Amino acid sequence: MTQIRPQPGIMDIGLYQGGGASIAGQERPLKLSSNENPFGPSPAAVAAVRAAVGDMHLYPPTDHAGLRAAIGAVHGLDPDRIICGVGSDEIITFLCQAYAGPGDEVLHTEHGFLMYRISALAAGATPVVVPEAARRVDVDALLDRVTSRTRLVFIANPNNPTGTMIGADDVARLADGLPVDCLLILDGAYAEYVDGYDGGAALVEARGNVVMTRTFSKIYGLGGLRVGWGYAPRAIIDVLTRVRGPFNLSTLALAGAEAAVRDTGYVNQCRAVNTAQRARLAEGMAALGVPSDPSQGNFILCRMGDAATAKAADAHLKSKGIIVRLVAGYGLPDCLRITVGSEVDVSRVLDAMADFGGVA
């Protein structure tokens, strides 16, 4: 037997399970399990990727200057305070790698994104789960759990898989209540779905202990290219850049993301459709006896009553060729998360659920 052992914490990491993508016997199921944009990427992003294909033999730029400049121009941010990664997941990993280790604690809420725990354990730090209040981030509960060992506090706003969101005053109160040697990370993967929301950028500008992360995998429809970014004080960006691989983003990813972020008209269109169809899906499910909290993302979290009913509904939808997400791994065994699709997709889900008679 080998005597080579991994670092402490590694074997405590459960293998990440993404949303399902296939159903036995179904050639093209409707996938509503991973919060993907049902309309795909912007045509401008597709054209940019195609144009970049001929340069695949060349190394990509290491500084991501073009993409950082585009993000800065669109969002009104300083490009020198932006770092790009392989999805926002990699930015989360950088933060844990750089600022947390053995003996340190990383706080996240009970229904928060699974990568917070995974990245903390990979860095040798201790993840600390903090209860939510009715599936919402509880600022007082987070502040109560902060100790001298706390180095990072992660919240997703809007949260996944709940879709709930706390206001700017609550976020500022959380940031102000943390020790000077502790960072607050605002995960804004779904920020673009909230009209007029900056994802926490103003808070990053005003304080030295706040970091914002964003992704191109959701509203931009570039999940397959894997691009994310973070915004932080320059001193933190300097640290994170030292652990970032020099060629972490491909030529195709950089080209697609730059074109996508500049196509603000497409983003606005996708947001408008999502807002309308999210309300239609939530109201339709409520009429069938399935409640959900008001969601600010591109999904709703359906409360099915109990775990058995959630599993039965999931199986029923699969029999209709529809894949949604069981979220027991997020501490919500009685719930289903359903991505908001197109108008046709939403009709298909509601029609299928109307045939399901097992709501608890």
**Spacing of C-alpha 26 from chain mean position:** 28
pLDDT at 312 over 60: yes
- Per-residue pLDDT for 135 more than 80? yes
Average pLDDT over residues 134-142: 97
Say if CB 33 and CB 339 are below 8 A apart: yes
Task: Name the segment(s) of the chain with CATH classification 3.40.640.10.
Answer: 43-263
Query: Would you state the pLDDT for residue 45?
Result: 98
Continuous segment of H or E residues that includes residue 146: none
* Residue limits of CATH 3.90.1150.10 in the chain: 10-40+265-354
Look up the CATH architecture of domain 10-40+265-354.
Alpha-Beta Complex (3.90)
Does 360 have pLDDT greater than 60?
no
Q: Taking the CB of residue 129, how many other CB atoms lie within 10 A of it?
A: 15
At 15 the pLDDT is 67
Which tokens sit at 308? 């058995």
Supply the DSSP symbol for 183: E
pLDDT of 67-99, one tens digit each?
Answer: 999 999 999 999 999 999 999 999 999 999 999
Give how far the C-alpha of residue 216 lies from the chain's centroid of Cα atoms, to the nearest Å.
Answer: 10
Domain at 43-263: CATH code: 3.40.640.10
For residue 30, which amino acid is it?
L
pLDDT of 248 over the 90 cut: yes
Average pLDDT score over residue span 205-226: 97
- 100 SS3 class: coil
Res. 1: pLDDT tops 60:
no
Q: Which of 98, 78, 94, 108 is nearest to 174 (CA)?
A: 108
Query: Which residues are CB-neighbours of 114 under 8 A, at least 6 positions away?
Result: 16, 329, 330
Q: Which two tokens stand for residue 124?
A: 């040798």
Cα separation of 213 and 148, whole Å?
A: 25
What is the model's pLDDT at position 26?
A: 72
326 vs 336: CA distance, rounded Å: 5
d(CA 171, CA 155): 9
Beta-strand relationship, 322-323 and 30-31: parallel
How far is the C-alpha of 35 from the C-alpha of 325, rounded, in Å? Answer: 10
Q: Choose the weakest-confidence range: 9-18, 26-35, 298-307.
A: 9-18
Q: Give the rounded percent of residues in the chain with a pLDDT score beyond 90.
A: 91
